[in-house]
Chains A and B, each alone.
Chain A
Amino acid sequence: MTKYNSLLTPIIASLFLLSLAPAQAEPMLDTDLLSITRTAAAAGVQDGLFDKEAATEERALKITQEKYGPVHPALVPVLNDLATLQRHCAQYQKALANYKWGLAILEKVLGPDDPKVAESLDDLAGVETDMGHYSDAELDYNRATSIQEKAAENDPLAVVPSLFGQGQLYAIENRDNDALPLLKRLVDIQIKILGRSDLRLVPSLELRAKAEASTNPNDAESDLKWALGIRQKKLPTGSPDITRTSVLLADFYRTHGKTDEANQLYQQAAVDLSKFLGENDYRSVRTLHLAAQIDFALGQYKKSAALLNRVLKIRTATYGADHPLVALCLEDLAAVQEKDQQPSKAQENLKKAKNILEKTFDPTHPEVLNIEKKLKALSK
């Protein structure tokens, strides 16, 4: 009995105090329900449950709209989350409409120069980039940057997402000369506030390296090494995020004729990633894709194709067969098959990819045009 005393004392004390303080059930309010709904949506996204969570978020929007009407800022976070989920699901028109709805509310209630308007413009520009509406995206990023620069006194880092988004847009359009001054500014702002070894600096350095690669290869190499150094210093050894930057550096070496350096990095990356390749779920899809990319670079086409088929299966299960990410995977598979001397299979997969992309995008979308170009090259 004595040996249970140490446990019994606090339990008896708890029971005594509980008897003085009986819990009282409160009715669940709309705000509680909304909280549960939105928290569940954020958790579901980690597992790739985009369709399901978009439906949940629509319910949250309905609750919020019933309470506040259609033009209250309380709707904006729900609208933005719903639009983001729709963007994940490649429902770009719906996402565009919801982001615009949120933006209109903020402009009406907070005025056109509020930093929250700038955040909303960044979101809108992101979906316009997806849709290939580059000039609209550029206008929105420009406006967001100018709003955030005015508010820089309060939060100098607030301008970072707008500058990064715009840099990303220019990189996609291959406008390296426009991207470089902007990305230099971005990195300078971040260094001033965060120092030179903050993890948040890494995506900016990687993006700047991409823009520098053709005109200033030395600067690009230096930025990639700097980014890799930060990751190695801040993350556990062998982390897939270190491998990701390491592969970017290897890609840079390969495209600049430094095959030995590239292969050395690819081989180490393959070893580091090997222990992460057991799973077949949404959380592991990026790692599987990276491993396939490494095998492709090392000329191990069969292994690369096998990994890509796993990626394809997961993406199809997550997003459905007609999602652009499925098309991109088929395009990658075609690249492997072309190298592996299977041109007819490659052609077949490119056609499938083109069909998928045409269901979502305009025929003039850069990705559609890109596949057309590849198909033409293959048929020669």
Chain B
Amino acid sequence: MRLFYRLALTLVTVFLFCPLSHAEFGNRFIANKRLATPLQNSEQKLSYRFTCQADMTANAAAVFCVESIHAPAYLISLQEDKDGEPSGTPLTAYSFVPKSQTWTTIPLDPFPLVKGKVYHLVLEPDMLRGGGHPVAVIGVSNYASFLTTDTLNKIHPNDGSPDPQANSLAFKDKKWALLDQEPVYAVYGQGDQSQGNPYDDPGIKPIFGKTTQGECLHFHCPCQVQSVAFRIKKQGNPTTPLKFNVLINDFYMHKAIPYYSQMVQATKEVSSHFQWVTVGIPMPTSNSFRAECWFYVLQSDSGHIADNSVGCEDCYAISDVGNSGGLAGAADLTFDGGPHLSRAVYSTNGEDPFRWIDEFERDANVTADNSPCPAPPDREYKAIPTPLPIQDEPRFTP
């Protein structure tokens, strides 16, 4: 009986610290290429549809203009969703003139957005600019186009949570149509709140020789990591396999210390097209990931620099997504932004622990299959009980 008691207590203790279920932590958000939607006549509109992630009072929005050719002003508005389309009634709106190849942040009259509700950020030519007759010209020589990216991820980029409503819609021939492209936008709220997709720059990063690429994942709690997945491809014919390295970031010394290493796969098994490749991490290493920054990086002895889309030949590449600059608070909108700051990392001298470069506004496509953190405390409040009406208090009746 005593043995049973001892075993039961030990098991309870072990289970308390080692949750068995697993979750994924990392950047699954993919973009392969930029797309532009031109708004070239006064009837055309573009909508970025999204689900509001947290209660906020929106006071600004940002969009990326791909091309602006003698463009007129455009009206940006937030609208509620009605049967999947913008309601047609702006909750708040502002007029602006976009500039080519950059983000424009537009102030909005504060308007409350509610967590879980679907909204549209709508762009349309503003021909009247508040007046009674057109004051602008629009056409093939006078227009702006706005950015989307090719893969519709249906997740929020900052935490990977699902957003099944995310999409882009175009208004043409008097009706809205789904584009099935990823909206690229930001919405800002009071109190440093924001949400959106800041990734305007799809990337392919070369892995060869001492050029090593990967992602720093900053876990929010101590956890097991049983496997890590990378989205990779080969370029040309690499002669040696990929090597997977785990390094721990010593932020006091600003250096990355090797912690674990293994081969990924034979060269023939890596495709010429991007694919997710999973690498297992054996015990006891898999049990030892503390809540701090871990570098999950790939290296290969094969390959050389080349003037092609990847930047190397007979080598490997990893995909990433990033922000090209010009968007306020972009690092907070990227995956695991804010205080934890998971981010893309690379080195052109991988053996030197001090020569690692952080890219706070980029994230490589790397995810870890880890044990989930405990759920945050329940934040549902019970309302304070109301008193009886004063006239209904129990009274003495003679």
Taking the complex as formed, is B151 at the interface, i.e. its CB lies under 8 A from any CB of chain A?
no
**Nearest CB on A from B338, distance (A):** 10
B308 at interface, CB cutoff 8 A: no
Known: A80-B383, A84-B384, A324-B390. A73 touches B395 (CB 8 A): no
The answer to whether the Cβ of A74 comes within 8 Å of any Cβ in the partner chain is: yes
How far is the CB of A164 from the nearest CB of chain B, in Å? Answer: 11
Number of residues in B with C-beta < 8 Å to the partner? 47
Whether A328 pairs with B17 at a CB distance below 8 angstroms is: no
Neighbouring A residues of B2 by C-beta, 8 Å: 6
B residues apposed to A, CB below 8 Å: 2, 5-6, 9-10, 12-14, 17-18, 55-57, 110, 112, 114, 189-191, 193, 221-222, 287-288, 290-292, 339, 377, 379, 381-387, 389-398
Query: Are A10 and B190 neighbours in the complex by a CB distance under 8 Å?
Result: no
Instruction: Tell me the nearest residue of chain B to A332, going by C-beta.
Output: B396
Task: Give Cα A353 to B326, complex, Å.
Answer: 68
Given A6-B6, A13-B10, A31-B379, also A296-B396 (CB < 8 A): yes
A14-B17, A84-B385, A331-B395 are known; give 10 further A-B pairs, CB within 8 A. A10-B9, A20-B287, A22-B222, A42-B384, A81-B381, A85-B384, A169-B389, A255-B397, A324-B390, A332-B395
| Residue contact B384 to A14, C-beta cutoff 8 Å | no
Consensus secondary structure, chain B interface: loop
Residues of B within 8 A of A31 (CB): 379
**Does chain B have a CB within 8 A of A293?**
yes
Complex CA distance for A21 and B384, rounded to whole angstroms: 39
Q: Classify the interface of chain A: helix, strand, loop or mixed.
A: helix
Specify which chain A residues have a CB less than 8 angstroms from the CB of B393 in the assembled complex: 325, 328
**Residues of chain A with a CB closer than 8 A to B397's CB:** 251, 255
A223 to chain B, nearest CB (A): 17
Decide if A71 touches B386 in the complex (CB within 8 Å): no
With the chains together, A27 CA to B397 CA distance in Å?
58
Whether A168 and B9, one on each chain, are in contact in the complex, defined by CB atoms closer than 8 angstroms, is no
Chain B's closest residue to A44 (CB) is B384
- Tell me whether A274 is interfacial, beta carbon within 8 Å: no
Q: Is A143 an interface residue (CB 8 A)?
A: no
Q: Is B291 a contact of A39 with CB atoms below 8 Å?
A: no
Q: Could you list 9 A-B pairs, sorted by A, with CB under 8 Å? A: A13-B10, A17-B17, A21-B290, A42-B381, A68-B57, A69-B112, A69-B190, A84-B384, A130-B391
| Distance in angstroms between the alpha carbons of A73 and B55 in the assembled complex | 8
Nearest chain B CB to A310 CB, angstrom units: 15
- Please provide the chain A residues from 318 to 333 with a CB less than 8 Å away from any CB of chain B in the complex: 324-325, 328, 331-332
Say whether A72 contacts B112, CB under 8 Å: yes
Q: How far is the CA of A354 from the CA of B57 in the complex (A)?
A: 47
Q: B10–A367 contact, CB under 8 A? A: no
> Chain B's nearest CB lies how many Å from the CB of A338?
8
Q: Which residue of A6, A84, A168, A336 contacts B383 across the interface (Cβ within 8 Å)?
A: A84
Q: Which residues of B contact A292 (CB under 8 A)?
A: 396
How far apart sit A215 and B250, CA to CA, in the bound complex (Å)?
Answer: 83
Tell me if A77 counts as interface (CB < 8 A to partner B): yes
With A13-B13, A14-B17, A172-B392: A68-B6 Cβ-Cβ less than 8 Å = no
Within the assembled complex, what's the spacing in Å between the Cα atoms of A66 and B385? 26
Is residue A5 within 8 Å, beta carbon to beta carbon, of the partner chain? yes
CB pair B391 A172 closer than 8 Å: yes
Knowing A6-B2, A10-B9, A290-B394 touch, does A24 contact B291 (C-beta < 8 A)?
yes
CA distance A110 to B12 in the complex (A): 47
Q: How far is the CA of A286 from the CA of B387 in the complex (A)?
A: 12
Q: Which residue of B lies closest to A31 (CB)?
A: B379
